[in-house]
Structures are given as C-alpha cells and as structure tokens.
Amino acid sequence: MTIQIIIPIYNEARTIQTVLTDLVAHGYKNIVVIDDGSTDEGEKLAVQDKNTRVLRHPINRGLGAALGTGLELAKKENADVVVTFDGDCQHQAKDLKNLLEPIIAGKADVAIGSRFRGDISKMPPDRMILNLLSNLMTFLFYGVVSSDSLSGLRAFNKKAISCIKIKTDGMEVSNEFLKEIKRNKLKLVEIPIDAVYSSDTIKGSKQEKFAALRIPIRLIAQMLG
C-alpha cells in the first residue's frame, strides 16, 4: 500500500528538517513537500532529505493551492493513501498510526486528526477561538459538524483522493475539504491528536488570524460562483 505524505510549506526553514526527521524515524519515506513560494531556505533543506521530493510554486499562492498540487500529484501517481501534514512541527508522526488505522482497515474514506478530541490545555486562546468560529462556519455554510475543521492532519483513501475537487487557494481549503466530503458522501472519522505548540506554531497562529478574516467572504463567493 502506497502512503504519500504531503507537506505544504511557506517559510518553514526553522522547522521542516525536524518534521521530516520525525516522519522518517517512524517509517514514512514517501514524502512530498510543496513549497508555496517561500523566500527562506526551506526548499533547500527539504531537498537534502533523500526520502523527500520538493515541488515548488514560483509565487506564494496559498495553502489551498499547495494542497491541491499535492492531491493532483497523488492522483497522477495512483497513491493508495494520502496524508496532509503541517510543516511547522505542530503535528507528530506518532499520531499517524491511529489516523491511518480506519483508512487501511476500510472503515473510513477520510480521517481527520482532531486537536479538540485530544488535550487542548496548551492551545493558545486565539487559535481555540479561531477553530471554534471555523467549525461554526462549516456547519452554517455546509451543514457539516466538525470538532476541528482547521486541522491540517488528514488522511484520504484512494476513493477520496479521486473525487475531492479543490478549487480554493487560501486557508478556506480546510472548510472546502469538509464540503467535498459531504458532497461525495465519504465516510469521515475524527481521531484524537495532541498538537505541539511552540514559538513557530504560535507564529503561524498569528498569520492564520488575519487570513481567517477573509474566509467567510471567500466561502460566500465560492457558493455564489
């Protein structure tokens, strides 16, 4: 069974080597980094890992565009399972075993790692509020209930890979995934995970706050388009 790990990065030079080392140490060696127009050395650092391929966007297009590139590659290469994994050290490779279990067993088409089903005691308050608002928007716009709609840790089986269509370029892709899961009647499970919060992930949280302000507008535009 081919398991492909997709890691979107944008200026993650401080953390990408740690992320890759963690994944390889846990036996994951089919890794694709999507460098979304970074201006730091993240791409060069990722290329140094023999288990990693790097695809680069010449300009910064957004999280959705990076994940879309990764999923298209997975379709082209006929991967059995695709995992999306953040490049800021928030996720831990040890959680992948539980995440992949229902996919490999054929009990789910999509598994999402939920921080809200794990230990949230160390989650920054602003990120907690952001996630709760996103969950509410996902329900209001799409009628999908999710405990962690902004989670970047997801696993998709071949059926899900083939039918999910990503049209958004920005952070709203997380909500779009849930819309596509419902549209295609895919079976979804949420798996508890314990995220790691550091200066790098908190930095990302600040970036997400500003990007999140545009999510409702983009979701409305998508629905009307």
pLDDT, tens digit (0-9, with 9 covering 90-100), for 13-33: 999 999 999 999 999 999 999
**Other beta carbons less than 10 A from residue 91's beta carbon:** 28
Domain ranges (residues) in the chain: 3-224
pLDDT band, very low/low/confident/very high, at 217 (cuts 50, 70, 90):
low
DSSP H helices, the chain, are 16-25, 42-47, 63-76, 96-104, 125-142, 158-163, 173-183, 199-212, 215-224
pLDDT band, very low/low/confident/very high, at 88 (cuts 50, 70, 90):
very high
| Residue with more model confidence, 158 or 215 | 158
Beta bridge mates, 8:
34
pLDDT band, very low/low/confident/very high, at 210 (cuts 50, 70, 90):
low
The string of pLDDT tens digits covering residues 161-198 is: 999 999 999 989 999 999 999 999 999 999 999 888 87
Per-residue confidence (pLDDT) for residue 123, from 0 to 100:
87
| Residue with more model confidence, 81 or 197 | 81
Per-residue confidence (pLDDT) for residue 216, from 0 to 100:
59
Give me the amino acid identity at 177.
F
Strands 3-9 and 31-36: parallel
Per-residue confidence (pLDDT) for residue 204, from 0 to 100:
52
Per-residue confidence (pLDDT) for residue 130, from 0 to 100:
85
Per-residue confidence (pLDDT) for residue 205, from 0 to 100:
47
Mean pLDDT of 142-171: 95
Instruction: Give, in words, the CATH class of 3-224.
Output: alpha beta
> How far is Cα 193 from Cα 44, in angstroms, rounded to an integer?
30
